[in-house]
Amino acid sequence: MSAGPVQSTKVLVLGANGQVARHTTPVLLKAGAELTLFLRRANRLANPDPTRVQIVEGDVLDAMAPRVAMQGQDVVYANLAGDMARQARSIVDAMHETGLKRLTFVSSMGIYCEVPGEKYRSALDPYRDAAAIIEASDLDYTILRPGWFNLEASASYRLTQKGEPFIGHDVTLDGLSALITVLATTPGSHVRESLAVSHV
């Protein structure tokens, strides 16, 4: 007996014009996802596939726009920069209100002083605060703490958990996009984990 058509995952991409988000969009599409690309000044982004992609203009810090964009979604992938703690608060509140559970949130390596030989930089304070807000929520989150991005054509990556030293230095954008796609489309994958991501 046929199991019927496989439902595609509906992914809300917050900060869709960011470097990693733009790199990840085609990978998510290749994996069969339906996308809502949420960004400020939406006219900067061309729609790569109007049959499966909608583009929504909005600011994550806005009271209404994220809530409206979250209606009908399965998962949220946040690819932001700037006032990360306020952004995390806004996302967590909006997800609670709309009943969404699954969040992948891109942070940075170094927020726990976990990179051997590197000093903690206060520029990372907002990233660490954002991670704390997400960890204190009851969401099914995965926080990613990637190394420095590089353009090497390799989709492999290495993961280490919170509390472990960071291994290596870089991560490929291909690897990061592959990981984000696995997290978005595989229920239960690395739920409530904070993962450092580096190149193998």
Ligand X SMILES: NC(=O)c1ccc[n+]([C@@H]2O[C@H](COP(=O)([O-])OP(=O)(O)OC[C@H]3O[C@@H](n4cnc5c(N)ncnc54)[C@H](OP(=O)(O)O)[C@@H]3O)[C@@H](O)[C@H]2O)c1
74 residue type, one letter: D
Q: Please, what is the minimum distance in Å from the beta carbon of residue 138 to ligand X?
A: 24
Cβ of residue 148: shortest distance to ligand X, in angstroms? 4
Q: Is 19 in the site for ligand X (CB under 6 A)?
A: yes
CB-nearer residue toward ligand X: 8 or 167: 167
Out of 11, 12, 13, 15, the residue judged to bind ligand X by CB under 6 A: 15
40 binds ligand X (CB under 6 A): yes
- Which pairs with CB-CB distance under 8 Å and at least 24 residues apart come from 92-97? 92/133, 92/134, 92/137, 92/139, 94/66, 94/67, 94/70, 95/70, 95/137, 95/139, 96/137, 96/139, 97/67
Q: Binding of ligand X at residue 18 (CB under 6 A)?
A: yes
Residue-wise DSSP of 32-74 = T-EEEEEESSGGGS--S-TTTEEEEE--TTSSSHHHHHHTT-S
Q: Which amino acid is at 95?
A: M
- Position 82 contacts ligand X (CB under 6 A): yes
Q: Is the Cβ of residue 14 or residue 29 nearer to ligand X in the bound state?
A: 14
Q: How far is the CB of 3 from ligand X (least distance, A)?
A: 36
**Interface with ligand X, residue 17, by CB under 6 A:** yes
Binding ligand X (rule: CB under 6 A), the pick from 45, 57, 129, 149 is 149
Bridge-based pairing of strands 158-161 and 193-198 is antiparallel
Query: CB under 6 A: which stretch of 4-12, 36-44, 116-124, 182-190 binds ligand X?
Result: 36-44
Residue of 148, 151, 186, 192 interacting with ligand X (CB under 6 A): 148
Q: How far is the CB of 143 from ligand X (least distance, A)?
A: 11
Torsion angle of C-alpha atoms 36, 37, 42, 48, degrees rounded to 10: -90
Task: Estimate the crossing angle of helix 84-98 against helix 125-135, to 10 degrees.
Answer: 20
Where on the chain is the footprint of ligand X (CB under 6 A)?
15, 17-21, 39-41, 59-61, 79-82, 87, 106, 108-109, 146, 148-149
